[in-house]
C-alpha cells in the first residue's frame, strides 16, 4: 500500500515486539495507528493476559488488561503477526 518504507533507524514494518508497536504507532505522524485493519480486524489473543479480543486498528489495546498490540500493514493479513509491546507499556501521546 505504498507506505511503511524503512527510512532510517532499526525499526520497520518487520520489526517485532515493542519496536514494531512503536513503529506503527508513530508511522505517518501517528495517523496510521487508528486506521481500521482491512477485513474487519484480526482475532487476537492478548500476549499479556491471554484474553481474546479483536484488533480492529493497526494499534489496539486488550480490553481486559490494556496491553498494547500492533500489526503493520504489510503483515496485517495474519493474526500471527500481531506484536505485543510488553506489560505496562504506554503508548506515546500524539
Quote the Cα angle for 44-35-75, to 5°: 50
Shortest reach from residue 58's CB to Zn ion, in Å: 18
Q: In what order do the strands lie in the sheet with 59-61?
A: 59-61, 68-70, 83-84
Taking CB under 5 A as the criterion, the residue among 3, 36, 64, 86 binding Zn ion is 64
Shortest reach from residue 50's CB to Zn ion, in Å: 7
Q: Are 69 and 83 a contacting pair, CB within 8 Å?
A: yes
16: number of Cβ within 10 Å: 11
Q: Per-residue contact track with Zn ion, 21 to 60, x per CB under 5 A?
A: -------------------------x-xx-x---------
- Residue 35 in grid coordinates: 486506521
Shortest reach from residue 85's CB to Zn ion, in Å: 11
Q: Is 62 in the site for Zn ion (CB under 5 A)?
A: yes
By the criterion CB under 5 A, which residues form the site for Zn ion?
Answer: 46, 48-49, 51, 62, 64-65, 67
Amino acid at each position: 500500500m505504498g507506505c511503511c518504507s524503512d527510512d532510517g533507524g532499526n525499526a520497520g514494518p518487520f520489526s517485532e515486539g515493542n519496536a514494531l508497536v512503536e513503529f506503527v504507532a508513530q508511522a505517518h505522524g501517528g495517523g496510521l495507528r487508528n486506521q481500521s485493519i482491512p477485513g474487519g480486524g484480526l482475532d487476537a489473543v492478548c500476549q499479556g493476559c491471554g484474553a481474546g479480543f479483536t484488533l480492529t486498528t493497526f494499534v489496539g489495546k486488550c480490553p481486559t488488561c490494556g496491553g498494547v498490540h500492533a500489526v503493520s500493514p504489510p503483515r496485517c493479513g495474519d493474526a500471527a503477526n500481531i506484536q505485543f509491546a510488553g506489560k505496562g507499556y504506554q503508548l506515546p501521546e500524539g
